[in-house]
């Protein structure tokens, strides 16, 4: 076994703290890479707090992982020692179901193996995430990272990037579409960058008036403060798509009113509690309420290559891992510009 240092939550009540554990030896199809940076996703906070379901503890969060390969198994073809590598939210899947065969491992019918708070295919070995100094992942779930981009700012692409890229591609959002990005946080700011890159007319819908200048710098064409009744009224019936990245409870009916006829409200944010949606909010204007989860491995590589080609990375604040609890507090207040990334050399 390989000894690893990390930060873990021992239970939902206790703050993250240093924790040592072991990873499996590098198998014939595995890649081991030393983690240099790991992004901090709101999903990390949801999971250590049991917001969604009872988690597997001790829990080492982190699924926006980048680093350098230190060892490869005998049968590994696409990576060599010294390469940059990344891993996002998944480390395995059945690879034979109908969805896996279509490069939709995130919708694996057997359930994909998540990077942490999950079990390996054996159903009993817990997985541990990227708030740690090294990781072993099977080759098919390791991504190539360009040497051209800033490495720390690339880490958030592995979750915030693909989670917003995938639905925008699926619904073919682009030229001629009015796209509203709901919530300007880690996912939201990437959605703005991709929406603009794909040619859409992009509006940020935000509860934070102070983020307007940033939204415009990110490329957004319009900014609506959703807590201002006048601005909300003016935005009624405006958008073809709303990409909803909100992490907390919010009123879907209010936002559905902002869609045009045939508009689609796409949920990627996962508030802890279910929402009440009135049928009336959907039937008037034939609107759709949809959802999307991360993206498949091939699409994640496509997104990373797109970002390298178009010079797209995340706007980040690098943190020392000792300040992780403080960073979570700021994230809950919406005070992240726009992704915290842990410098793993501080571990």
Over the chain, what HEC string results? Answer: CEEEEEEEECCCCCCCEEEEEEECCCCCCEEEEEEEEEEECHHHHHHHCCCCCCCCCCECCCCCEEEEEEEECCCCCCCCCCCEEEECCEEECCCCCHHHHCCCHHHCCCCCEECCCCECCCCCCECCCCCECEEEEEHHHCEECCCCCCHHHHHHHHCHHHHHHHHHHHCCCCCCCEEEEECCCHHHHHHHHHHHHCCCEEEEEECCHHHHHHHHHHCCCEEEECCCHHHHHHCCCCEEEEEECCCCCCCHHHHHCCEEEEEEEEECCCCCCCCCCCHHHHHCCCCEEEECCCCCHHHHHHHHHHHHHHCCCCCEEEECHHHHHHHHHHHHCCCCCCEEEEEHHHC
Stretch that binds Zn ion, among 29-37, 38-46, 143-151, 251-259 (CB under 5 A): 38-46
Check binding of 166 to Zn ion (CB under 5 A). Answer: no
Among the listed residues 94, 97, 270, 319, the single contact to ligand NAP using CB under 6 A:
270
Closest approach of Cβ 60 to ligand NAP, in Å? 17
Closest approach of Cβ 159 to Zn ion, in Å? 3
Binding partner at 323 among Zn ion, ligand NAP, none, C-beta below 5 to 8 Å by kind: none
Check binding of 196 to ligand NAP (CB under 6 A). Answer: no
Per-residue binding string, ligand NAP, 24-63, x by CB under 6 A, is -----------------xxx--x-----------------
Binding partner at 59 among Zn ion, ligand NAP, none, C-beta below 5 to 8 Å by kind: none
Binding partner at 225 among Zn ion, ligand NAP, none, C-beta below 5 to 8 Å by kind: none
Distance from first CA to last CA of the chain, Å, rounded?
20
How far, in Å, CA of 251 to CA of 172, rounded? Answer: 26
Binding partner at 23 among Zn ion, ligand NAP, none, C-beta below 5 to 8 Å by kind: none
Per-residue binding string, ligand NAP, 230-269, x by CB under 6 A, is ---------------xxxx-x-----------------xx
CA distances from 81 to 72, 77, 85, 232 (A): 7, 12, 10, 53
Among the listed residues 32, 43, 226, 281, the single contact to Zn ion using CB under 5 A:
43
136 versus 267: smaller Cβ distance to ligand NAP = 267
Closest approach of Cβ 102 to Zn ion, in Å? 23
How far, in Å, CA of 3 to CA of 24, rounded? Answer: 9
Check binding of 70 to ligand NAP (CB under 6 A). Answer: no
How far, in Å, CA of 190 to CA of 336, rounded? Answer: 13
Two tokens at 135? Answer: 């990781």
For ligand NAP (CB under 6 A), the number of binding residues is 30
Per-residue binding string, Zn ion, 133-162, x by CB under 5 A, is --------------------------x---
Residue sitting closest to Zn ion (CB): 41
Among the listed residues 72, 159, 220, 224, the single contact to ligand NAP using CB under 6 A:
159
Stretch that binds Zn ion, among 1-9, 35-43, 108-116, 322-330 (CB under 5 A): 35-43
Check binding of 41 to Zn ion (CB under 5 A). Answer: yes
Among the listed residues 10, 50, 133, 207, the single contact to ligand NAP using CB under 6 A:
207
* Pick from 185, 190, 290, 195: nearest CA to 247: 185
Closest approach of Cβ 84 to ligand NAP, in Å? 22
| Interacting residues with ligand NAP (CB under 6 A) | 41-43, 46, 159-160, 163, 183-188, 206-208, 211, 245-248, 250, 268-270, 293-294, 331, 334, 336
| Interacting residues with Zn ion (CB under 5 A) | 41, 43, 159
């Amino acid at each position: 076994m390989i000894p690893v240092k990390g930060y873990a939550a021992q239970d939902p009540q206790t703050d993250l703290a240093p924790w040592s554990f072991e990873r499996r030896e590098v198998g014939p199809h595995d890649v081991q890479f030393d983690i240099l940076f790991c992004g901090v996703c709101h999903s990390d906070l949801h999971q250590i707090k049991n917001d969604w379901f009872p988690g597997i503890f001790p829990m080492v969060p982190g699924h926006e992982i980048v680093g350098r390969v230190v060892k490869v198994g005998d049968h590994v073809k696409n990576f060599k020692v010294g390469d940059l590598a990344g891993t996002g939210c998944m480390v395995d899947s059945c690879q034979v179901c109908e969805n896996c065969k279509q490069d939709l491992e995130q919708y694996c019918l057997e359930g994909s193996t998540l990077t942490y708070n999950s079990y390996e295919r054996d159903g009993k070995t817990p997985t541990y995430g990227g708030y740690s100094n090294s990781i072993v992942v099977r080759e098919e779930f390791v991504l190539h990272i360009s040497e051209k981009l800033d490495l720390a700012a690339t880490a958030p692409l592995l979750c915030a990037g693909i989670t917003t890229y995938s639905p925008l591609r699926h619904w073919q959002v682009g030229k001629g579409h009015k796209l509203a990005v709901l919530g300007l946080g880690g996912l939201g700011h990437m959605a703005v960058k991709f929406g603009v890159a794909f040619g859409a007319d992009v509006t940020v819908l935000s509860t934070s008036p102070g983020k307007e200048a940033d939204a415009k710098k990110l490329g957004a064409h319009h900014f609506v403060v959703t807590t201002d009744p006048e601005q909300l009224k003016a935005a009624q019936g405006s958008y073809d798509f709303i990409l909803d990245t909100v992490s907390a409870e919010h009123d879907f009916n209010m936002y559905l009113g902002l869609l045009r006829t045939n508009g689609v409200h796409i949920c990627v944010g996962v508030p802890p509690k279910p929402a009440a949606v009135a049928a009336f909010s959907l039937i008037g204007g034939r609107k759709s309420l949809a959802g999307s989860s991360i993206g498949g491995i091939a699409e994640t590589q496509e997104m990373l290559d797109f970002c390298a080609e178009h010079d797209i990375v995340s706007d980040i604040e690098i943190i020392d891992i000792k300040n992780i609890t403080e960073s979570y507090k700021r994230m809950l207040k919406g005070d992240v510009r726009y992704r915290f990334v842990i410098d793993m050399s501080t571990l």
